[in-house]
Amino acid sequence: MTKVLYNADCSVCNFEISHYKKYADEQSIDIKFEDLNKTNLEPWGVNKDDATKRMHVEKDGVIYSGVDAFIKLWEDMPRYKLLANIAKQPGLYQIGTVVYDKILAPALYYKNKLRTKGE
């Protein structure tokens, strides 16, 4: 079984994961989605702050994060297998990793930090 660790308090993250969860449920795909705010993070090997910085996926006992996590998740869903194969292509993989690691993930993390600071 594939497990996905995500931040349900992040509106962008929650929107995207809700889409994947609905698709997985409709297709009876065995994927478990865990909100990092409501689950034990110890088996994931991350603390809450690190978990909010990137999406994590556990598959076959291996934990993936970032672009690799998305690829592992997409590989399990027929509608997204082509996207997973494209994302793995040399060049595209490196570009996707840089965009996720240096732009998207930090922007979402920062936005979430600002939101939670005001609560």
Q: Which pLDDT does position 112 carry in this prediction?
A: 84
Digit-coded pLDDT (tens) for 82-106: 999 999 999 999 999 999 999 999 9
DSSP string spanning 69-108? HHHHHHHTSGGGHHHHHHHTSTTHHHHHHHHIIIIIHHHH
Q: Parallel, antiparallel, or unpaired for β 62-65 and 56-59?
A: antiparallel
Digit-coded pLDDT (tens) for 25-51: 999 999 999 999 999 999 999 999 999
The number of folded domains in the chain is 1
Residue 69 has pLDDT above 90, yes or no: yes
Q: Within a 13 Å sphere around the CA of 44, how many CA atoms are in the beta-carbon half?
A: 28
Give the global pTM. Answer: 0.92
pLDDT category, 63, cuts 50, 70, 90? very high
Q: Which pLDDT does position 118 carry in this prediction?
A: 61
Domain range for 110 is 2-117
